[in-house]
């Protein structure tokens, strides 16, 4: 929570060139490596898988779909490692005793805040930001689904805290800018969209699916082997 605003400030206001921006990938990767060691041993590979999967989603969202664009027109090298850090934050906070004892409270609080943000995005905030955020409403049902009925409710409640901070500081500092009208779907968008944390639900779901495929390979190999004679 402290590192993300600092990293984004350095990217937008200090290390303004492409080469200097790329240097931020080094401390971000090192911090991810250090933080991922705090996870249970069976989960330590997941943040790094998140780095790989999120890279694909970043290329799709920014360079192909063009729903948002980074200030230099690229996908900064530190961003995928930042996704890994967000995963570690969500997993770590979800595992704390308070959150484990109050999963419903945390999930419903996150959903209430997302709903409030979404409603303000089409009522009061346009008078301040000059943008109507219908895009946030589009993501809200998915976010509500994972918070109310998903098996990782506490994780996504924690993600809402982290992603909201990253999106607010990232757009405020000018690290990236969301398109006023979403490409393809032509829906007015806030900067950032209110329930964009649901997008991380897509990334997380995809990452877990890929992880399950990797885990199934040894079983498939075992099943395909001829019995020993």
Neighbours of 219 (CB within 10 A): 9
Strand partners, 177: 69
- What's the pLDDT at 202? 86
Residue 181, SS3? Answer: strand
> Which pLDDT belongs to residue 218?
53
**CA angle centred on 51, ends 108 and 106, rounded to 5°:** 10
CA-nearest of 119, 104, 87 to 197 is 87
Q: Which long-range contacts (CB under 8 A, 24 or more apart) does 205-211 make?
A: 206/53, 206/57, 207/46, 207/49, 207/50, 207/53, 207/54, 207/87, 210/49, 210/53, 211/45, 211/46, 211/49
- 10-residue averages of pLDDT along the chain (229 residues): 95 92 96 95 92 94 96 96 95 96 96 95 95 95 91 92 95 97 96 90 82 65 44
């Amino acid at each position: 929570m402290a590192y993300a605003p600092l990293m984004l400030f350095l990217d937008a206001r200090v290390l303004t060139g492409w080469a200097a921006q790329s240097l931020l990938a080094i401390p971000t990767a090192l911090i991810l490596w250090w933080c991922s060691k705090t996870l249970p041993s069976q989960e330590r590979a997941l943040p790094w898988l998140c780095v790989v999967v999120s890279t694909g989603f970043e290329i799709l969202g920014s360079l192909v779909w063009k729903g948002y664009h980074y200030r230099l027109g690229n996908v900064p090298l530190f961003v995928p490692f930042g996704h890994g850090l967000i995963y570690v934050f969500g997993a770590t906070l979800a595992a704390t005793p308070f959150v484990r004892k109050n999963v419903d409270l945390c999930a419903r609080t996150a959903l209430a805040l997302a709903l409030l943000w979404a409603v303000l995005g089409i009522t009061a905030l346009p008078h301040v930001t000059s943008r109507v955020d219908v895009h946030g409403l589009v993501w809200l049902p998915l976010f509500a689904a994972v918070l109310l009925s998903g098996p990782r409710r506490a994780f996504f409640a924690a993600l809402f805290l982290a992603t909201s901070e990253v999106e607010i500081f990232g757009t405020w500092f000018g690290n990236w800018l969301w398109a006023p009208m979403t490409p393809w779907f032509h829906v007015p968008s806030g900067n950032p969209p209110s329930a964009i944390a649901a997008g991380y639900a897509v990334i997380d779901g995809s990452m877990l699916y890929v992880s399950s495929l990797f885990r199934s390979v040894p079983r498939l190999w075992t099943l395909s082997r001829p019995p020993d004679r």
